[in-house]
Structures are given as C-alpha cells and as structure tokens.
Amino acid sequence: MANKCLQYAALTIAVIGAVNWGLIGFFNLNLVAFLFGSMSWLSRIVYGLVGLCGLYLLSFYPLIDQDSAEV
C-alpha cells in the first residue's frame, strides 16, 4: 500500500513538473515562480521534489518489459 502511494505521489509531482515545463516552453510562464516567488525557499522545495520524483521514476523503466511480457 505504501509503495503504491509513493508511486502515485511521485507520478503526480512529476506531472506537475512536466506541466510547468510545458507552460515555460509555450507561454514563457513559470507557474512555480508565479505562485511561490522566484527561487524562494518554497519554490526550491517544489523544484527539488520534482527532481527527486523524476529520479525515482527512472526505476520504473525495467518494469515496462515485465508488464508487456505478462500480456
């Protein structure tokens, strides 16, 4: 149960980071900086969490082959 919650939390935070990067790329709008201030301690925490979640999600790549082999 806890592992599944960690996976959902990591995926949600990574999606938030991806949406933020999309807004930066398409509209030059950094939503994190807009909401929390440019490089404030809170925005640095958000950026750090997005980075950590991205690194954690790298461990899901080996699972892709496992899931497709079961079908």
Domain ranges for the chain: 2-70
Residue 68 has pLDDT above 80, yes or no: no
Residue 67 has pLDDT above 70, yes or no: no
Report the mean per-residue pLDDT for the chain.
90
pLDDT digits (tens, 9 = 90+) for 26-41: 999 999 999 999 999 9
| Alpha-helix residue ranges (DSSP H) falling in the chain | 2-27, 31-36, 41-57, 61-70
Global pTM?
0.81
Residue identified by tokens 């909401």 is 35
